[in-house]
Amino acid sequence: MTRRGIEIDGVSKTHWTRRGEPVEALRAVDLAVTEGEFVTLVGPSGCGKSSLLRIVAGLAAPSAGRVTIDGVTVTGPRPDVGLLFQRPTLLPWRTVRKNVLLPAEVLGLDRRLAAVRAAELLNLVGLRGFEEALPAELSGGMQGRVALARSLLQDPAILLMDEPFAALDALTREDLARELLGVWDRFRKSVLFVTHAIPEAVFLADRVAVMTSRPGHIAAIVPVDLPRPRDPSVVDTVAFGAIAAQVRALLARRAGLPPVSSSSDGRP
């Protein structure tokens, strides 16, 4: 039977440095994102999160194991997978509208339909009126919104996001996390979302996958049984605090650090 969604099955990855030394980034990672599920991935810096996302995206091959999407082994980029990476990758010489339309050109989608959808998405992420602006004329948060709209243009069933809000200030980040959840509530994509911020990971997710330090391995998966749609005030509830503390303790244990009790970093 074909299961829909992402299945990561025993994926290992060894990178080779330019000096020919092996760097074992991932060791036997198993993780599934079922159809319409929102899974966040947290782990210490350098534990292989980006390596894993690139493999799921079909931008890199695993050294062992495999990734399937809807039962089909990933061997390269797919049109039903949207990507959003940490570094803003807008083309500086293209307008907002033309940046959002880029996937349509790359994938050869119907131009007229793509133009209509681009206008809808820019409206959805609060950028109506900025269609003809250049990226340099926008704030970092607005650029993040453009990238979010672009990742949704081809209406991907699956979204892979690698710390998409990391470069933004706390408030803009909360805004975008809220907006992303709004979009997700409407379209129910399957999402795999990497973040360093524990509150953000809990606020967004159905389940939080916690990785060990390199070689990265899934140490635990923490279910987030908070009702949806989620209001930002959920972060102040006891239930939220308990889940965040559990994720924090798992991360601290895996990193060999003493547990920290404060929860002041990166609220969603």
Contact criterion met (CB below 8 Å) for 239 and 226 = yes
CB of 155 to ligand ATP, least distance (A): 27
Between 15 and 66, whose beta carbon lies closer to ligand ATP?
A: 15
Per CB under 5 A, the segment of 10-18, 47-55, 137-145, 232-240 that binds Mg ion is: 47-55
Binding site for ligand ATP (CB under 6 A): 15, 17, 23, 25, 43, 45-51, 214
CB of 266 to ligand ATP, least distance (A): 13
Contact criterion met (CB below 8 Å) for 42 and 198 = yes
Between 43 and 199, whose beta carbon lies closer to Mg ion?
A: 43
CB of 168 to ligand ATP, least distance (A): 16
Between 45 and 262, whose beta carbon lies closer to ligand ATP?
A: 45
Closest residue by Cα to residue 42 from 261, 254, 241, 260:
254
Q: Which residue has the tokens 């493999």?
A: 55
Tokens matching residue 76: 């390269």
Per CB under 5 A, the segment of 42-50, 76-84, 94-102, 226-234 that binds Mg ion is: 42-50
Between 41 and 235, whose beta carbon lies closer to Mg ion?
A: 41
Whole-number CA gyration radius for the chain = 18
Between 78 and 196, whose beta carbon lies closer to Mg ion?
A: 196
Per CB under 5 A, the segment of 5-13, 48-56, 141-149, 230-238 that binds Mg ion is: 48-56
Between 25 and 121, whose beta carbon lies closer to ligand ATP?
A: 25
CB of 107 to Mg ion, least distance (A): 25
Three-state DSSP class for residue 191: strand
CB of 54 to Mg ion, least distance (A): 9
Could you say which DSSP state residue 48 is in? Answer: S
Tokens matching residue 187: 């379209």
Contact criterion met (CB below 8 Å) for 241 and 203 = no
Closest residue by Cα to residue 139 from 149, 127, 157, 152:
127
- 50 belongs to the binding site for Mg ion (CB under 5 A): yes
Tokens matching residue 16: 């080779």
- Which alpha helices (H) appear in the chain, and where do they start and end? 49-56, 96-100, 102-107, 111-124, 140-152, 170-187, 198-204, 238-255
CB of 194 to ligand ATP, least distance (A): 7
Residues contributing to the site for Mg ion (CB under 5 A): 50
